Structures are given as C-alpha cells and as structure tokens.
Amino acid sequence: MDKKKLFANGQLMLASAIWGLAFVAQRVGMGSVGPFMFGAARYMLGALTLYLLIRVMRLRGQDIPITKGAIKGGLTCGVFLLLGSTLQQSGLVYTTASKAGFITALYIVLVPVLAGVIFRKKIRLRVWVGVALATLGLYLVSFSGTLEDINIGDVMMFIGAFLWAGHIFAIDHFVKKYEPLVLSMVQFTFASIASAVLTLMFETVELQGVLEVAVPILYTGIFSAGIGFTLQMMGQRHTDPTITSMILSLEAVFGAVGGYLLLNEIMTARELTGFALIFIAIILAQLPAKQKELQ
C-alpha cells in the first residue's frame, strides 16, 4: 500500500473514531431536543467551522474555489446527509448507541452490492469474503435471532444504512472533481437550513432544552460534522469506496466502546465476537491485491 493511500486510510480511521463517539453524544442529545433541532444546530456549527477554516487557508494563500459544480455536488451529498442523519437521530430514541452503530454499519454490505449491481464495478473476492464476515459480525451484535428483538429504532437505522451508502457514492463521485472543504461546507449548510425549516414545522424549541445538550451539540457540530466529514472526503479521494466503507464501519466499534464507557451499555460475549469478525473483515479488505488481480 503506497504512502498516499495509507495516509488516506488513516484519515478515514480518525473520522470513524470521531463518529463512533458521536453516537454517545447524539443519544444524550435526544433527551432534551428533537432530531431536527439537533441536526440544525450541529450542522450549522459544522458549516461555520469549515467556513472559518477556508477563510484562514485563503489568507495563507491557498486557492480554494467555490464553483457551481462544487455547490451542486455539496447539495447532492447534503440530501443524503440530511435524510440519513435524521433517521439515525430519531432512531436513537428507541435503541442503544452500541446497536445503532452496528446497524448503521450495514452500509459496508450495501456499498459493494450496489457497486456491482448498479455501477457494474468489479469487486475482489477477498472484499466479498470481508463483507460476508462483516455481515455475520453485525448479525451477532445486532440480533439474537428472534423478531421480537427488532424495534422501530433498529428499523430506522437499517433504512438509514441505504442512505449512508448513497452518501458514500455521492462523495466518491464529487470529491475527485471539487474541493472537499467546499463540498462539506455546502452539504452542512443545506442540512442545517433544511433541518431548521423542519424544526419550525414539526418541533417545539425551548432554550432550556438546547442549553442542556450544549456539549453534545458542540461535539457533533465541530468534531463529528466539521472535522469528521471533511476527513472522510479528503481520505476518500485516494482510496476505493468499498475500502472506505470498511474502514468507516469501525465507527460501530468506537460507538460500542463509547456506549460502554460513558453510558454503561453492557457488551455480551456474542457482541464481542461480532466486533472481532468485523475487525478481521476490515483488515482483510485492505490487504494489497495479488499481481494476478491487478492484471
């Protein structure tokens, strides 16, 4: 693996850690405000963080153009972001941070499947083996084999996994053409404005409730949104979308650890086995291809 791809994978790994801990912040945040209000606040902070960063970089002489194409691309990414995050935030009312992380990570299965079916991309055999192991791991973590275990929160997370897969493909398409910081700023601006409109339509906002979840909003806005999604876009410039989805699926592991340490969510032996299988799948998917596979 060349240094550029290794550095890109490191950026994606850091993003997954930030997002994993964000599940904890999001679950805490849902105790006082609605999902639209939470989204409006966090994405406003994310957009503002990136705007300030762009200004600083421009003052240092770096050229960061805001083009019509970048705006259109950011809006496309923003649609997937808005829908996926709203389902995720709403679902956290009914399920745990640990479970939410692993059900959301089902997009690691959907990305290669959609790539093969829709885009006719060739996926290496070892990646499919990794997908199979990850699927088994997710099953062990998320379900015990009975329908009674499934609740509305889990269903929301599952539907959201399709939207996160779409987000992966949208980013993969636009990030190779336009500046990642601009794409991120535009998608957050769109998600914030749309969430604010939905807040006025469907939720009642109280200042006390917002103040009670100020820390979760600050973390998810500045770190999860502003920094995490930008790391994703920068890293995804130099690696394959299937490998991207595998690395980012580690957010489920970080979410489970955060839930255990900060929310006292207990992990069983079955869940730990699932964690191990997913980790093996991620490592397997990142192994360099054999020469025959490259020809």
Q: Which of 56-60, 139-143, 178-182, 210-214 has the lowest mean pLDDT?
A: 139-143
Residue 87 CB burial class (10 angstroms; 0-12, 13-18, ≥19):
buried
The C-alpha atoms of residue 224 and residue 153 are separated, in whole angstroms, by: 21
Mean model confidence pLDDT for the chain:
83
Tokens 């192994």 found at: 287
Domain boundaries, the chain: 3-288
**Over residues 80-85, mean pLDDT:** 94
Local confidence band at 67 (pLDDT 50, 70, 90 cut-offs): very high
Q: Provide the pLDDT for residue 146.
A: 65
**Over residues 284-292, mean pLDDT:** 59
Three state DSSP letters for 256-269: HHHHHHHHCCCCCH
**pTM summary value:** 0.81
Q: Give percent above pLDDT 70 in the chain.
A: 92
Greater pLDDT, 265 or 68: 68
Closest residue by Cα to residue 106 from 126, 79, 78, 87 = 87
Q: Provide the pLDDT for residue 45.
A: 92
Q: Is the pLDDT of residue 8 over 80?
A: yes
Q: What is the pLDDT of residues 150-174, one digit of tens each?
A: 678 888 988 998 999 899 889 888 9
The C-alpha atoms of residue 163 and residue 122 are separated, in whole angstroms, by: 22
Q: What is the Cα 205 distance to its own chain's centre?
A: 26
Q: Provide the pLDDT for residue 48.
A: 93
Q: Is the pLDDT of residue 76 over 90?
A: yes
Cα dihedral 67, 83, 256, 48, rounded to 10, equals 40
Q: What is the pLDDT of residues 188-245, one digit of tens each?
A: 999 999 999 999 999 888 888 888 888 888 998 888 888 887 788 788 878 877 677 7
Q: What is the pLDDT of residues 41-62, one digit of tens each?
A: 989 999 998 899 889 888 888 8
**Over residues 138-156, mean pLDDT:** 74
Q: Provide the pLDDT for residue 294.
A: 42
Q: Is the pLDDT of residue 293 over 60?
A: no
Q: Where are the beta strands (DSSP E) in the chain?
A: none
Q: Which of 19-33, 47-61, 132-146, 197-211 has the lowest mean pLDDT?
A: 132-146
Q: What is the pLDDT of residues 246-272, one digit of tens each?
A: 787 788 788 888 888 888 877 788 878
Q: Is the pLDDT of residue 291 over 50?
A: no
Q: Provide the pLDDT for residue 186.
A: 95
Local confidence band at 28 (pLDDT 50, 70, 90 cut-offs): confident
